[in-house]
């Protein structure tokens, strides 16, 4: 009876929280699409109704409408799950790990290197590839994490620098020791190192997607059901109170960076092992790490939210090609993404201002 009541209370609180949390992202998405319609009208000289119809059918076809496109949506979504989760863990601990991009690249490099080692049976080889990516990413994030905890350097600045180092380290190997003649990429990884493509070998969607989805639940469990997550979140919300409660904030800052980097590195390895089977020479960044910022922001740094926001961003990314078929500039997709982020950011600013005003009122009453 009492237990039932508690559950009710908890459930009601949950529903209220869910509405509270979901409203702004949904409004942001709708507004993003709505504004995009105007750009379509302008670009194609259409009326509002025609413009809406054209844009929506193009995006629909590009994301879910055709089998091939839907598969590409899932392919585009997979790395975003990892990078979105990586950012979420860091955000929850009060850190901004812009280095997810570099950690993702290090994960890709690890997979491209380990994937070339011959003579290892398939299940072990794949495991080694993923583990290697995880460790490369974790180490890459641990360095700025350690510096922040021990010396107090800013993790944003350091991880940005680490991104460039990662890119150049990767290029050194891809252009040098593992370069494939006459290409802009590394040698193909061995078949034993590849993640299973469950539809057909030519369709790129692979079990990396399921690893990502499973990871979502692991991270959710870690953050809300374990002492590790309790400490990470406490440090993220109020470092002073955490320390007063006997929680070592420095240790947790490093731990959060390591977990974040490990997720990003795993994502990079899964991307190579499942989707592209080689590492490309990088002229610029892959952007999976940076898109992950948007994914995590839209998801409010909640792992379950990452599932949906990575689907949205993955879908938009993969529909960019199809839009051109409809003679809609593919940049429209990026406009939509940008507007969504602006509105999500506006939500943060709005909440921040509200909080600030409330604090002032309490202080001065």
Partner 1 sequence: MEKVIEMRGITKIFPGVIANDNVDFELRKGEIHVLLGENGAGKTTLMNILYGLYQPDKGEIYVNGKKVNIKGPSDAIAMGIGMVHQHFMLVHNFTVAENIILGSEPKTAFGFKIDYKKAIKDVKELADKYGFNVDPNSIIEDITVGQQQKVEILKALYRGAEILILDEPTAVLTPQEIEELGQILKNLVKEGKSIILITHKLKEVMNMSDRVTIVRRGKVVDTVNTKDVDMDTLAEMMVGRKVNLVVEKKPAKVGDVVLKIENLQALDHRKLPKLKGVDLEVRSGEILGIAGVDGNGQTELVEVITGLRRATGGRVILKGNDLTNRAPKEIIEAGISNIPEDRHKHGLVLKFSLTENAVLGQHDKEPFSKGIIMNYDVIREHAKKLINDFDVRTPNEEVHAGALSGGNQQKFIAAREITKDPELLIATQPTRGLDVGAIEYIHKRLVEERDKGKAVLLVSLELDEVMALSDRIAVMYDGKIVGILDADKTNEMELGILMAGGTLNKKEGEHDKQ
Which spans of this chain sit near partner 1 (rule: CB under 8 A)?
6, 9-10, 13, 225-228, 230-231, 233-234, 237-238, 240-248, 354, 357-358, 360-362, 364-365
**In terms of CB distance, is 180 or 356 closer to partner 1?**
356
Q: Specify whether the CB–CB gap between 97 and 158 falls below 8 A.
A: no
**In terms of CB distance, is 13 or 124 closer to partner 1?**
13
User: Distances from the Cα of 28 to the Cαs of 22, 298, 320, 336, 350, in angstroms?
Assistant: 10, 9, 20, 10, 14
Look-up of token digits 């949906």: 308
**In terms of CB distance, is 191 or 360 closer to partner 1?**
360
Burial of 139 (0-12, 13-18, 19+ CB in 10 A): middle
Short-list 263, 283, 327, CA closest to 104: 263
Query: In the complex, what is the shortest distance from the CB of residue 249 to partner 1, in angstroms, rounded to a whole number?
Result: 10
Query: In the complex, what is the shortest distance from the CB of residue 149 to partner 1, in angstroms, rounded to a whole number?
Result: 15
Query: In the complex, what is the shortest distance from the CB of residue 303 to partner 1, in angstroms, rounded to a whole number?
Result: 17
Question: Cα separation of 111 and 208, whole Å?
Answer: 13
Q: Specify whether the CB–CB gap between 214 and 207 falls below 8 A.
A: no
Query: In the complex, what is the shortest distance from the CB of residue 147 to partner 1, in angstroms, rounded to a whole number?
Result: 22
Q: How many CB atoms lie within 10 A of CB 308?
A: 15
Query: In the complex, what is the shortest distance from the CB of residue 82 to partner 1, in angstroms, rounded to a whole number?
Result: 23
**In terms of CB distance, is 8 or 324 closer to partner 1?**
8
**In terms of CB distance, is 50 or 347 closer to partner 1?**
347
**In terms of CB distance, is 86 or 242 closer to partner 1?**
242
Q: Specify whether the CB–CB gap between 265 and 113 falls below 8 A.
A: no
Query: In the complex, what is the shortest distance from the CB of residue 221 to partner 1, in angstroms, rounded to a whole number?
Result: 9
Angular region, 290: left φ>0, alpha ψ -120 to 50, beta rest: alpha
Cα 85 to the center of its chain, rounded Å: 5
């Amino acid at each position: 009876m009492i237990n039932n009541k508690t559950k009710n209370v908890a459930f009601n609180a949950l529903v209220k929280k869910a509405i509270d949390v979901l409203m702004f992202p949904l409004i942001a998405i709708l507004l993003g699409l709505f504004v995009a319609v105007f750009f379509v009208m302008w670009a194609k000289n259409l009326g509002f109704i025609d413009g809406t119809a054209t844009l929506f059918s193009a995006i629909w076809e590009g994301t879910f409408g055709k089998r091939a496109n839907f598969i590409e949506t899932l392919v585009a979504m997979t790395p975003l799950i990892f990078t979105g989760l990586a950012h979420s863990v860091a955000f929850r601990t009060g850190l901004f790990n812009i280095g997810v991009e570099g950690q993702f690249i290090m994960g890709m490099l690890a997979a491209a290197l380990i994937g070339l080692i011959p003579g290892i049976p398939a299940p072990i080889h794949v495991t080694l590839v993923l583990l290697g990516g995880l460790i490369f990413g974790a180490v890459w994030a641990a360095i700025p994490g350690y510096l922040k905890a021990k010396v107090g350097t800013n993790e944003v600045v350091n991880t940005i620098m680490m991104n460039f180092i990662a890119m150049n380290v990767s290029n050194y190997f891809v252009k040098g020791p593992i370069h494939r003649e006459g290409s802009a990429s590394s040698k193909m990884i061995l078949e034993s190192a590849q993640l299973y493509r469950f539809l057909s070998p030519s369709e790129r969607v692979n079990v990396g997607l399921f690893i990502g989805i499973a990871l979502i639940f692991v991270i959710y469990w870690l953050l809300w059901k374990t002492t590790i997550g309790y400490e990470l979140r406490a440090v993220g919300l109020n470092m002073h109170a955490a320390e007063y409660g006997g929680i070592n904030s420095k240790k947790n800052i490093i731990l959060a960076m390591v977990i974040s980097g490990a997720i990003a590195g795993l994502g990079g390895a899964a991307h190579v092992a499942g989707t592209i089977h080689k590492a490309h020479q990088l002229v610029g960044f892959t952007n999976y790490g940076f898109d992950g910022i948007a994914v995590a922001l839209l998801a409010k740094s909640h792992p379950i939210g990452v599932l949906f926001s990575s689907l949205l961003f993955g879908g938009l990314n993969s529909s960019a090609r199809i839009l051109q078929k409809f003679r809609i500039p593919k940049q429209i997709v990026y406009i939509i993404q940008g507007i969504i982020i602006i509105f999500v950011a506006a939500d943060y600013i709005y909440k921040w201002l509200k909080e600030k005003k409330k604090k002032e009122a309490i202080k001065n009453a």
